[in-house]
Structure 1
Amino acid sequence: MISTSDELALLQQALESYEHKYIAEHLNQISLGSWTRESLKRYEQGKGELHFSDAEYRHLQKLLPQAPRRARHDFDFIDLFAGIGGIRRGFEEAGGRCVFTSEWNPFAVRTYKANHYSDPTNHKFNSDIREVTLSDKPHVSEDEAYRFIDANVPDHDVLLAGFPCQPFSIAGVSKKNSLGRKHGFECDTQGTLFFDVARIIAAKRPVAFVLENVKNLKSHDRGNTFRVIMNALDELGYWVADAESSGKEDYKIIDGKHFVPQHRERIVLVGFRKDLNVHDGFTLKDVAKLYPKRKPSLGDILEKEVQPNYILTPKLWQYLYNYSIQHKAKGNGFGYGLVKPHDVTRTLSARYYKDGSEILVDRGFNPKLDFEHKKNIENRPRRLTPRECARLMGYDGPNESNFRIPVSDTQAYKQFGNSVVVPVFAAVAKLMKDRIVRAKQLEALRPRSHARLAA
C-alpha cells in the first residue's frame, strides 16, 4: 500500500517540473476529472488528505525521469551552468554518472528535472554556484573557500561547464598578488563566473574537464578573456587539447552541422591533469571520425502538421520580408533565413521566440508573385515548433518526442537557443572516456591529499 508521505513526496517532485494545471490534466486522463489545480495546491499545502489510486500514482510517476538501467557507471561528473542538461546527456551516454548540478534559471531547472534522473543518495542540486564557491564573500580567505567547496561539492572525475562569456579586468592584479595570493587566477578572473569554475577545479582537482562557450570567446575583449582563461587552466595544472590550433585548423571549434542540420559553432576546451599524463595524443580533430554516416536532414525532423500559431502573421512576414530587402540594398547581410527540407539552418538563438527570423520553414512563398497574392498569403513561412527545436539540437531523434518540454514555448525557445548540440558532446565524451578511466585509476593509487586542495 502506498503511504500518504510517498504520495506527497511524488507530488512535490512532479511540481518541481510541472505546473499544477498540467499535473491535474495528466491525472484526469485516467480518473473521472476530479483533479484540479486548486485541489492539488491544497494537498501541497497540507490542507486535506492526499490520496492517489494505484493507477493515478503510476501515471504520475511516468512524468518523472526514471533511474538509468545501467547497473554501473565508469566515472562521475558534475554539471555546472547546466542549462537543460545537453552536455550531461552526452557524458551519460559514455557511461558517466552526474553527482552535482548547478543551474540558476528556474525555468531551465524545471526542464532539467523533468528529463534527468537525480538519485537522492548520490546527487546534489544547487542553484547559485556562488553559494558553494563563496565568491560573493570577499572576506573569506582562499583556504576557507577551498575547504568549503571540498565539503559541499562531491568528489568527481570530470567537471563540465558551459559558463557565460564575461570580460576580465586586470586592474590591480599586481597589488593583489603582493598581498600573498596563492593563485594568480584568483586575481585575474575575480568577479566573473569562470572564477567559480576555476575555484572548484582548484579545490576538487578532477582528472579532466570540458568547458563550452561561444566561438567568439577567442576574440572577446580583444583576446584578453581567452588568454586569461588559458593561463588560469595552465596554472591550475591542466593540459588543454589543441591549445595552439587556430584559424580553419582550430579543432577546438566544433560545428554542430556535422551531426544535425544546423550550423552551430562552439568552442570546446578539453583538459586533462598534467600530472596524470594521460593526454598524450589526444586531439579534438578526431571528432571527425565520429561524424554519423547519415545525419538527419531538416526534413527528417519537421512535423507533418503544426498548429496555426507557428505560422507567421501576414504583418510580421511582410515586415521581415521588407526589412531584408532594405538591408540587402545597402549591402548588409541582415534578414530572415528561409529553409527547405534539405537545407542546413542558421544557428538557433535564444531570441528565436521573438520572430523566428533566423530559421523560417519555407511553405511555398513565391517572391515572383505579389505579396498580397492569395497563394503567398496562404503559404507564409512558419517558425520551428519547440519539438522541432529539440530535434534540431539533438535532444530527440527524427520523429521522436521523448524529451519533455514542461515550459511555455517562449521559455522552450530560450532554453534550446542557449543549449548545445547533444551529439557533439556525446562524441567528445566518447573520445575522452578511455583517458578518463585510466586517469581515474591512476588517481585512485595516490593519497587524497595529493589530489585535493593541492593546486
Structure 2
Amino acid sequence: MLSESPPLPLLKEARKRYTQRDLAARLNVVPKTVSRWERGETPCPKMLEPALREIMFCPATELPAVNERFTFIDVFAGIGGIRLGFESAGGECVFTSEWNDWSRKTYLENFGGDHPFIGDIVPYTADEIPDHDVLLAGFPCQPFSIAGVSKKNALGRPHGFECTTQGTLFFDVARIIAAKKPKAFMLENVKNLLSHDKGNTFRIIIETLRNELGYDVHYKVIDGQHFVPQHRERIIIAGFREKSGFSWDGLKLPEEGPKLKAILHPEDGTEPTEEPFTTGPKGKVHRKYVLSDKLWAYLQAYAAKHRAAGNGFGFGLVTPDNISRTLSARYYKDGSEVLVFRGQGKNPRRLTPRECARLMGFPDSFKIPVSDTQAYRQFGNSVIVPVMREVARLMAPHILNLREQEETGQKSLPI
C-alpha cells in the first residue's frame, strides 16, 4: 500500500459527509477512482486539495437534488468556467455563444456540442435563442458613451438602454434579457468596472438592469483567493425577475485559502506525467517553462529601473507558500506576473498551462487542446470556477423558487 498522500486526510473527512458517487461527481472523476484513493491503491493527487477544501466547506445537504434543475445560456462563454459553476448547482446549458475560435475549440472539447453553439452574439437575434431560466455572461467591458442622449430624446429617437448602451457588448446582454425575460441572470466582470469612466459605466449598467429591465439587482466584489492561491477580484452582478429575498449574506468564503503549492506539479512521481507540461518518470516540469538567462536578466533590470523611479512595476516572484498575483491574458508574453521561485541562483519558471488551469479552479479532467500561448490567454481571461460554484449555490434556491411561482401561478415566500 502506498504511503498517505497529503490530501488524503481531507478525502477521509469528505467521505464522512458524501457517498463515493457524490464525491466523484464533485471532483469530476469516476467513483472507482475515489475508491482506489481511499484504499491507498493510487495516491490522492495533491492538486485536489483546493477542491476538497471547498467541498468540505459546503454542507452535503446543499447538493442539488436530481429534480432541482434549471436551464441557462452561456454568453461570452470563453472556455466554460461559469458553466462549470452553474452545472454543479443543477443547471443545464441550452445555448452557448463564444466568438473566439480557439476558445470554441477548448469549450467544445470539454462540453461537446449537443445544443446550439454560435460564434458572435452581436448579429444574432434574441428570438432565435432558446427560452431559459438564467442568463450567464462574462461580458467584456467596453466604454459607454452617453453623449447625445438629450438630443435623441428631443428628437424622439430611441432612448433608454437602446440608446445608452448601443455599440457595447453589454447591449447584447440587455437586449436578450429584454426579449427572453429569464428568471435570473449572473454577470461577471473585472473589479475596475465599478470605477470605469468615473463610475458612469457601472451606473448605466445598473440603471439599465433595474430601471429599464425591471430586475432585482445585487452586486458584490469577490476575491478568488478564498478558494485558489490567486488574488483575483471580480464583480458579480446577480439579478432576479421578481423580488426573491436573495442576499449576499449567505455567501460562504473560507477565511484562508490554499497556497501555491496546492496547484504546482509535485515533480516527485506522485502525479502522473502529462506531456507536454511535465516529463519523465517523476513528472518534472518541462525545461521550456524555465526563463532563459536573457529574459530573466531583462525582467530584473526592468524591475530595478522602475523601483528607482518609485514605481511598482516588476515581476511577481512567488514561492510555494505564497499566493500569486492575478493571472492575465498576457501571461504568454513573459510570465512576469507569476514566476515560480526555484531556489537561489536558479532562474524562475512560468506556470504550466495545467497549473494555470488549477490556479483558476478547473479540475484536472479539463482538457487543454490548444497551444501554450492560447491556453495562457484562455485561463487568463477565465473565471475562478469555485467562485462561480459558490455564486450558483447561493442563487439556485431563488431561481427554483421563481420557477415554482411561474409553474403554480402562486407567489412563494422569499427564501
Cα distance in structure 1, aligned partners of 2:400 and 2:66: 17
> Using the alignment, how far apart are the partners of 2:326 and 2:240 within structure 1?
30
Aligned equivalent of 1:346, options 325, 331, 334: 325
Within 5 Å, which residues of 2 pair with 1:218-237? 218-234=194-210, 235-237=212-214
The structure 2 residue matched to 1:360, chosen from 317, 339, 355, is 339
- 8 Å CA contact retained: 1:73, 1:97: no
**1:383-429 Cα shifts (integer Å, max 9, x gaps):** 00000000000002xxxx31100000000000000000000010000
Amino acid at match of 1:257: Q
Task: Tell me the amino acid that sits aligned with residue 358 of structure 1.
Answer: E
Q: For each residue in 1:246-272, what CA deviation from the matched residue of structure 2 results, as whole angstroms up to 9, or x when unmatched? A: xxxxxx110000000000000100111
Where 1:391 maps in the other structure, the secondary structure is helix
Distance of 2:402 and 2:183 partners within structure 1: 6
2:209 paired with 1:217: no
**Equivalent residue for 2:258?**
296
Native 8 Å contact 1:260 1:296 kept in 2? yes
Q: Aligned-pair distance for 1:118? A: 3.6
Pick from 260, 283, 294: which aligns with 2:247?
A: 283
1:314 equivalent in alignment to 2:277: no
| 1:200 lines up with 2:176 in the alignment | yes
- Deviation of 1:183 (Å): 5.7
- Structure 2 CA distance for aligned equivalents of residues 161 and 73 of structure 1: 22
Alignment correspondent of 1:264: 232
Q: How far did residue 277 of structure 1 move?
A: 2.3
1:130 is paired with a residue whose SS is: coil
Stretches of structure 2 that go unaligned for 5 or more consecutive residues are 1-64, 268-283, 411-415
Q: Matches of 2:202 and 2:257 in 1, distance apart?
A: 32
The one-letter amino acid paired with 2:105 is: R
**Which whole-Å CA distance do the structure 2 matches of 1:292 and 1:347 have between them?**
19
- Counterpart check, 1:104 vs 2:80: no
Q: Equivalent residue for 1:380?
A: 347
Q: Which AA in structure 2 matches 1:90?
A: G
Give the TM-score of the pair, scaled to structure 1.
Answer: 0.69
> Which contiguous aligned blocks of 4+ residues in structure 1 show a shift greater than 6 angstroms?
none
Q: Give the CA deviation at 1:442.
A: 1.3
Separation in 2 of the partners of 1:384 and 1:302? 8
Letter in 2 for 1:296: P
**Counterpart Cα distance in 2 of 1:101 and 1:179:** 38
Distance 1:332 1:363, change over 3 A: same
Which one-letter code corresponds to 1:237 in the other structure? Answer: G
1:130 Cα deviation after fit? 1.4
Give the Cα separation in 1 of the matches to 2:122 and 2:194. 25
Identity of aligned residues (%): 64
Q: Deviations over 1:144-202 (max 9, x none)?
A: xxxxx23x111111100011111111122234335556761000100000000000000
Q: 1:54-102 deviations in whole A, cap 9, x for unaligned?
A: xxxxxxxxxxxxxxxx965610000000000101100000000000100
For residues 195 and 179 of structure 1, what CA distance do their matches in structure 2 show?
22
Number of aligned positions between the proteins: 328
User: 2:387 — aligned with what?
Assistant: 424
Q: How does 1:398-409 map to 2 (within 5 A)?
A: 401-409=364-372
> What SS class does the counterpart of residue 123 from structure 2 fall into?
helix
- Structure with greater Cα Rg: 1
The residue type paired with residue 123 of structure 2 is: E
After superposition, what is the alpha-carbon deviation per residue over 1:212-257, rounded to whole angstroms, capped at 9, x for unaligned? 0000001111111111101100120111115xxxxxxxxx110000
**For 1:310-336, what per-residue CA distance to the aligned partner results, in whole angstroms no more than 9, with x for missing partners?**
000001001111111121122111111
In structure 2, C-alpha distance between the alignment counterparts of 1:103 and 1:358, rounded to whole Å: 27
What are the equivalent positions in structure 2 for 1:15-414 lying under 5 Å apart? 74-119=69-114, 123-133=115-125, 149-150=126-127, 152-178=128-154, 184-234=160-210, 235-242=212-219, 252-273=220-241, 276-278=242-244, 280=245, 282-287=246-251, 289=252, 291-292=253-254, 295-303=257-265, 304=267, 305-365=284-344, 376=345, 379-396=346-363, 401-414=364-377
State the alpha-carbon separation in 1 of the partners of residues 173 and 407 from structure 2: 23
Contact 2:152 2:159 in 1 (8 A): no
Q: Deviations over 1:327-349 (max 9, x none)?
A: 11221111111111110100000
* Residues 332 and 294 (structure 1), Cα distance of their counterparts in 2 relative to 1, 3 Å cut: closer
1: distance between equivalents of 2:78 and 2:254? Answer: 25
TM-score (norm 2): 0.76
CA RMSD of aligned residues (A): 1.8
Secondary structure at 1:213 match in 2: strand
Mapped partners of 1:358, 1:364: distance in 2: 18
* Structure 1 residue 294 displacement after superposition: 6.9
Cα drift, residue 444 of structure 1: 2.7
